[in-house]
Amino acid sequence: MSDWTKDRRHSTEQDRRSNGPSRWSNCRKRGVDGSLRAGGGERENNNRHPDERSSSFTTPESTGPVSRCSMASDWGSLVQEDEDIRRDVQRDMQRYRRRILGTEVAQRERKTSSGSSGSHDSKDEDNIETDEAVLLRRQKQINYGKNTLAYDRYIKEVPKHLRQPGVHPKTPNKFKKYSRRSWDQQIKLWKVKLHAWDPPAGEDQEETQDHEEQLELGDVMDIELDFPTLLPPCAAHSLSVQGEDEDFSGTPVKLQKTEDVEPGMF
Amino acid sequence: MENSTDDYKIQSLDVDAQKILKTALKDPSAVNLEKVSNIIVDQSLKDQVFSKEAGRICYTIVTAEAKQRTGLVFRKNLLNRLQQEFNDREETRARSLHAWTCFVTFICNIFDYLKVNDMPMVVLVHPVFDCLMRLGQPDALMNEEEVDCLVLQLHRIGEQLEKMNSQRMDELFFLLRDGFLLQDGLTSMARLLLLEILEFRAGGWMLSGTAHKYYYSEIAD
């Protein structure tokens, strides 16, 4: 087995450019333009290591980036998590649309009655992030923030109606269009704020166990805060049935610190 | 319905295993699903025909289990066992090329058949590429059995794999081009298989009519 093929697998774009598209294409007598190359005869196979890179540069084969963002590492759990999170995101998406369209209709009615013009029906639609890959990535980041003792303490100590914008941490809205940079910054600030609720050292950890349910609901409620009004009764009702299959959702163990578990985040 | 289990080629299994498997296909909750996943993996590692069939069998069991809403125990067991085998793949290859190619056939078949929300399982993408990259290494290209396995998998799942990660597919094909061009000692059959798969991908994962004629016609002179 030759080492150079491995090296090439990990070589950067820059290396490729400086070495040409393929070292072996240098064997060709003619270039792409058809003209003869200067030194273009046959080459010996011992030119195999032109960049002299040490084999330590290569990284071992990984099972992929998924394992980096997840707390489980066995394939069975990873696939289950992937399926759960995807389903949750799709479900949230439907609710969010329903809600956003609902408020839009209400606003339009108010506007027409007060005589102001402006029909930007589709504007809110345009501002929705619909790329599933982006939504999944964001949901994972949010889950990391929520999967902390600090978050449990926060939602327990500060009831929803007492939370003030700007004062209390507020989960970023994953459905709004933001640049990657903006989103990551929002997540960062949110987590910094959450750290204010880190448990004092040595506190009994048992106590936080029974808040799983509240945490799940909080997920949806946070988004609702963005909209002043009108949850149709049916939507409110659907919140109560969502726990049905959480027994195999593989909720990971609560962690005291978030920093330790997210090397792949930034 | 009676024929549905006979459709699966499970005759090579011993009688007890066949019985468990038949039950699992219809009523997964009635059997020990860890045992079922082990039967399937064990058989796949020694039986090339079965390893091609396993994806369909697993798909049926997963679907049946999902209907029963008792959690997806089987899939979890299956994937974890698969992961173990993946981690031991170099030992397997050293022990038996046959078991190794059976394993690759199996994992690719699972990748092909088991989907999560109609998408291939992300967790398998890199492992599958790792296996195919291994088959493309110079020492593996010397064995027709491994080359044959490699191109067969690429015919089946190449297109899906490329959609999941085109960069790694490019890397794999750098390897295959180099193997085709430069490696001494390849049999003409291995070169033919490699050339065909190179053309196959270049043609957007299909062969042109003339290429098909060249590779598959009996009366080539």
CATH of the domain at B178: 1.25.40.180
The span from the CA of A249 to the CA of A5, in Å, is 41
Chain A residues close to B171, C-beta within 8 Å: 8-9
Q: Which pLDDT band holds residue A36 (cuts at 50, 70, 90)?
A: low
Which residue matches tokens 């059976």? Answer: B102
pLDDT tens digits, B47-105: 889 998 899 999 999 999 888 877 788 999 999 999 999 999 999 999 999 999 999 99
* Contacts A78 to B, Cβ<8 Å: 123
Query: Which one of B94, B116, B138 terminates a domain?
Result: B116
Distance CA A193, CA A246 (A): 28
CB contact under 8 A, A86 and B116: yes
Residue B146: pLDDT over 60: yes
The verdict on B129 and B145 lying in the same domain is: yes
Residues 6+ away with beta carbon under 8 Å from B53? B8, B9, B10, B109
B126 and B28 share one domain:
no
Q: How far is A103 from chain B (nearest CA, A)?
A: 30
Give the count of alpha carbons within 13 A of A219, CB side only: 27
- How far is it, in rounded angstroms, from Cα A154 to Cα B33? 41
**Do B180 and B206 belong together in one domain?**
yes
Distance (Å, rounded) from C-alpha B113 to C-alpha B79?
Answer: 13
Q: Which of A 237-266 lie inside 8 A of B, CB atoms?
A: 245, 247-248
Q: For residues B160-192, b (16+ Cβ closer than 10 Å) or e, as one string?
A: bbbebbeebbebbbbbbbbbbeebeebeeebbb
Q: Are residues B73 and B169 in the same domain?
A: no
Cβ-in-10-Å burial (0-12, 13-18, 19+) of A173 comes to middle
Q: Please tell me whether residues B165 and B93 are part of one structural domain.
A: no
**Is B118 buried (19+), middle (13-18) or exposed (0-12) by CB count in 10 A?**
exposed
Residue A180 token pair:
């990657």
Contact status, residue B52 vs residue B93, Cβ threshold 8 Å: no
Residues B187 and B100 in one domain: no
Residue of A nearest to B87 (CA): A63
Mean pLDDT, range A8-19, rounded to an integer: 41
DSSP code, position A3 = H
Answer yes or no: do B131 and B66 share one domain: no
Q: Is residue A197's pLDDT more than 50?
A: yes
Give the minimum alpha-carbon distance from A245 to chain B in angstroms, rounded to a whole number. Answer: 8
The answer to whether A191 and A154 have CB atoms below 8 angstroms apart is: no
Displacement of CA A262 from its chain's centroid (Å): 11
Task: Supply the DSSP symbol for A211.
Answer: G
What residue numbers bound the domain in which B211 lies?
A: 122-221
Pair of tokens at residue B115: 């989907």
C-alpha closest to that of B8 among B56, B73, B41: B56
**Which of A216, A215, A222, A230 has the alpha carbon at shortest distance from A98?**
A230
Q: Does residue B182 share a domain with residue B102? A: no
B111 plus B56 within the same structural domain: yes
CB contact under 8 A, B117 and A63: no
Q: In A, which residues are within 8 Å of B131 by CB distance? A: none
Task: Grade residue B10 by pLDDT with cuts at 50, 70 and 90.
Answer: confident
The residue to which tokens 């299994």 are assigned: B13
| A215 three-class SS | helix
| Domain shared by B83 and B9, yes or no | yes
- Considering the domain architecture, whether residues B104 and B190 belong to the same structural domain is answered as no
Indicate if B87 and B149 belong to the same structural domain: no
Residue A113 CB neighbour total at 10 angstroms:
8
User: Cα separation of B31 and B100, whole Å?
Assistant: 29
The set of residues, in sequence order, having a beta carbon less than 8 Å from that of A236 and lying 6+ positions away, is none
Q: Where does a domain end: B53, B86, B116?
A: B116
Instruction: Give the residue among A9, A58, A17 at the shortest CA–CA distance from B172.
Output: A9
Q: What is the pLDDT of residues A123-146, one digit of tens each?
A: 666 788 888 889 988 998 998 899
Q: Which of B61, B82, B116 is the last residue of a domain?
A: B116
Q: Residue A107 — very low, low, confident or very high, per pLDDT cuts 50/70/90?
A: low
Q: Is the pLDDT of residue A189 over 50?
A: yes
Tally of domains within chain B: 2
List the single range of A123-127, A167-171, B138-142, B151-155 with lowest mean pLDDT.
Answer: A123-127
Q: What is d(CA B33, CA B38) in angstroms, rounded to the nearest whole number?
A: 8
The answer to whether B99 touches B37, Cβ cutoff 8 Å, is no
Q: Per residue in A111-126, pLDDT tens?
A: 555 444 444 455 666 7
**Which of the pair, A99 or A32, is modelled with greater confidence?**
A99
Mutate to test the interface with A, among B58, B123, B134 (most CBs of A within 10 A): B123
Q: What pLDDT, on the 0 to 100 scale, is given for residue A83?
A: 84
